[in-house]
Amino acid sequence: MIRLVHQLIIIVLCLVVWVPVLGQTTVDSIQPWDNRYLEDQFYVGVGYNILFDTPVGQRNFSYNLQAGFIKDIPLNERRNFGIGLGLGYAANSYYTNMGAAEGANGNQYQILVDSDFNRSKFETHSIELPLEIRWRTSTADDYSFWRIYAGAKLGYVFSGRSKLVIDNGNSSFSNDDIEAFQYGLMLNFGFNTWNIHTYYSLNPLLKDNTILNGVPLDFRVLRIGLTFYIL
């Protein structure tokens, strides 16, 4: 999985270099008086996940990788204001000092001593539906512009796992305590290639009945990263 993450990060960095060239080619093929152009229909992103409202501590780099397509729907003649409705994929990891284990009466959780483990994490793979209100300073013949895209995102977790790595090996299992439907608010803003991405979940990462030493594990996720738009 670590090798896959590294490969995806390399792909994203290559796209950062390639996007301006592709954008210039696309713009050159559009006449300045053509008002039918669309912007920012594909996206890729990387980010860092921060857990709030949690009794556990974070460890390592809790990463986010995302990619998808957004249908750009301009609402005015200048085509710099509109909405975007999309479909995407996201992979998220959440590294903590909490261990998870399967039990006869449900999953069990405990705080781990640093010397007893190497890594412990939740891992999710999701299908996402972003909805954005979009404002930008673009024109048909200018591919470098400011943008502010605000909205919400609904995600369906089709694979959620817990994994614990120790010196003598590792254990991993499909964790049904991870909430299948995730939703929250997001904001993307920036200029040209570089855009800041933020997301805050409105529901917990884990289900309501998930507890640690009698305390509910009401994880909330704040995500901060970069989003790169193509076409």
Non-local (6+) Cβ contacts of 158 within 8 A are 125, 126, 127
Instruction: Dump pLDDT digits (tens) for 143-170.
Output: 788 999 999 999 999 999 999 998 888 8
Instruction: Dump pLDDT digits (tens) for 168-221.
Output: 888 899 999 999 999 999 999 999 888 999 999 999 999 988 988 888 888 899
pLDDT of residue 6: 52
Count CB atoms within 10 A of the CB of residue 168. 5
pLDDT of residue 93: 96
Instruction: Dump pLDDT digits (tens) for 82-136.
Output: 999 999 999 999 999 998 988 778 889 999 888 788 899 999 999 999 999 999 9
Amino acid in the structure at residue 159 = S
Number of domains comprising the chain: 1
SS3 string of 56-85? CCECCCCEEEEEEEEEEEECCCCCCEEEEE
Residue 57: domain span: 2-230
pTM exceeds cut of 0.85: no
pLDDT of residue 17: 45
Tokens of 11: 């792909």
